Amino acid sequence: MTEIIINGAGDLERAAKVFLSKIGNHSIIAFYGSMGAGKTTFITALCKMLRVKDIVTSPTFTIVNEYRTQAGRPIYHFDFYRINKLSEAMDIGLYEYFDSDGLCLIEWPEMIEELLPEETLKISILVDDVDTRTLLF
Ligand SMILES: Nc1ncnc2c1ncn2[C@@H]1O[C@H](COP(=O)(O)OP(=O)(O)OP(=O)(O)O)[C@@H](O)[C@H]1O
Ligand SMILES: [Mg+2]
């Protein structure tokens, strides 16, 4: 079990760096955590660390947002909070994203639990207090 403690917003950059050094070559990463736990915030920090120039916000009107790292690798940022049926996830071509060379970062993975590949790296974000979070994986 790996644990990374994030001590407030000012510690996100360091935490993202440590996280990236520990994920090996996992390319499908699922972030579990209650509403407001900090999934989008941490994904934004990861993207910043990967030198994504695009604005990183959670997909609101779509299920997936696509960004590109400075090195040209695609990042697919999913938010399944609003889906009603698994077929909605399938319809966007979920497995084409999963099978691609891109890095897939997933919010609300519990909504598509049955569809997650075995190699998915599962991260829990725990809220310790107002500005402290723990990542467990
Ligand atoms: N590591 C952190 N330290 C301090 N505050 C944080 C941290 N992470 C998130 N927050 C704060 O918590 C709030 C919610 O964060 P965020 O939107 O990232 O949550 P979320 O898990 O994506 O929520 P949702 O389930 O709605 O998608 C934001 O106001 C953010 O500033
Ligand atoms: Mg979010």
- What structural domains does the chain harbor? 3-136 (3.40.50.300)
pTM (predicted TM-score): 0.97
φ, ψ at 112 (rounded to 5°): -130, 30
Give the residue, by CA position, lying nearest to ligand 1 atom 8: 38
Mind listing the pLDDT tens digit for each residue in 96-127?
A: 999 999 999 999 999 999 999 999 999 999 99
Cα atoms found within 13 Å of the Cα of residue 106, Cβ hemisphere only: 27
Q: 4 pLDDT band (50/70/90 cuts)?
A: very high
Give the residue, by CA position, lying nearest to ligand 1 atom 15: 38
The answer, yes or no, to whether residue 55 has pLDDT greater than 90, is no
What pLDDT was estimated at residue 61?
Answer: 81
How many CB atoms within 10 Å of residue 24?
7
Q: Which two tokens stand for residue 33?
A: 């955590």
59 lines ligand 1 (CB under 6 A): no
Segment (H or E) for 121:
strand 121-129
33 lines ligand 1 (CB under 6 A): yes
The answer, yes or no, to whether residue 58 has pLDDT greater than 90, is no
Mind listing the pLDDT tens digit for each residue in 77-94?
A: 999 999 999 999 999 999
CA of 71 to the centre of ligand 2 (A): 25
CA of 34 to the centre of ligand 1 (A): 10
